[in-house]
Amino acid sequence: MNIAMMTAQTNLIPQPSGLQQASLSDASFARALTLIRGRLGNCSNQWRRSFITSILYRRGAVCALTDFDGYLSHLERLPTDDPEWQQMLHELTVHDTWFFRHQPSLTCLHELLATHFSHLDSLMLWSVGCAYGEETWSLAITVDQALRSQNRLIPWQIVGSDLSTVCLRKARSGIYQRAQLKNIDQHVRNVYFQPVNDDQVKLAGDLAHHACFTRVDITDNTAPYQAAMHVVYCQNTLIYFGPAEKSRALDNLAAALVPGGILLVAPGEAHGWSHQSMRRIETENRNVALFQRTY
């Protein structure tokens, strides 16, 4: 679901009487922005006024607070890890995702594991902005298939991270609607998913030992990982950032790589970015964007 779709949907929700979005003062909106940026960092650059306003009105109504500033005061009193803050942040961000979303990048990873990374005796991967986890599990399946096809029994681990703790809870459960698998190859469905009930499936046993999920804000000033990852995979997340946040996030992703490690982003997402220790790798596949850490 994109921002426009989310905004349209939220506008369908009736506002409680007395709350008039149109009459929101510039001062109240500025107070909201200052509060959100103070607690959540600069990630709010991506949000439009009408979008932020409608979400805050809605959250205020859910909390039975009758005016916008009352809801802001309520937020101010709560710690940032309070469920209300986390739900608000979740509703302010876009989480659309699906299994095997960008096949060219996954094929590229499969090939890298057979060539560039064939000498490794362990492997660490990071799935950045993983939303509800479909991306992380798709990567895990790809790695498992690649290593099995090479008869390589090496230890490997994938970290899925996101800003939203609401997303991460679902990602950790590994439980999805059966309908979400409809475009997945039958063999992959049989091997990697097991039924929970008529409507739901769960990632099958072994794979869960290789994946963990954690909250990371990739626009933070402090890089969360230092030279720890062989592969960093980041797709459809940087497009929502302003230029400064995007550049800081990419620098953080570069810092997370071991020398020789690979950053895989969606085409165009790192446009205009350069980094002293990273070089762009040209591939025949124009649908992927690859960078290698050189030292």
What DSSP assignment string belongs to 109-126? HHHHHHTTTTT-SSEEEE
- Going by their DSSP bridges, the two strands 257-265 and 229-234 should be labelled as parallel
**Rounded distance between C-alpha atoms, residue 165 and residue 130, angstroms:** 11
Burial of 76 (0-12, 13-18, 19+ CB in 10 A): exposed
User: In the bound complex, what is the minimum distance in angstroms from residue 55's beta carbon to ligand SAM?
Assistant: 14
164 near ligand SAM (CB under 6 A): yes
160 near ligand SAM (CB under 6 A): no
**Rounded distance between C-alpha atoms, residue 172 and residue 3, angstroms:** 25
Nearer to ligand SAM, 58 or 90 (CB): 90
Binding mask 35-74 for ligand SAM (x = CB under 6 A): --------x-------------------------------
User: In the bound complex, what is the minimum distance in angstroms from residue 236's beta carbon to ligand SAM?
Assistant: 3
Instruction: Indicate the residue type of 84.
Output: E
237 near ligand SAM (CB under 6 A): yes
User: In the bound complex, what is the minimum distance in angstroms from residue 65's beta carbon to ligand SAM?
Assistant: 25
217 near ligand SAM (CB under 6 A): yes
91 near ligand SAM (CB under 6 A): no
125 near ligand SAM (CB under 6 A): no
Rg, the chain, Cα only: 21
96 near ligand SAM (CB under 6 A): yes
Nearer to ligand SAM, 195 or 243 (CB): 243
Nearer to ligand SAM, 52 or 130 (CB): 130
Q: Which helix (H) or strand (E) holds 195?
A: strand 193-195
**Rounded distance between C-alpha atoms, residue 235 and residue 218, angstroms:** 13
Place of tokens 């660490």: 124
Cβ atoms of 285 and 108 within 8 Å: the answer is: yes
Size of the site for ligand SAM (CB under 6 A): 22
86 near ligand SAM (CB under 6 A): no
Instruction: Indicate the residue type of 219.
Output: T
131 near ligand SAM (CB under 6 A): yes
Applying CB under 6 A, the residues found at the interface with ligand SAM are 43, 93-97, 101, 129-131, 135, 162-164, 167, 216-219, 235-237
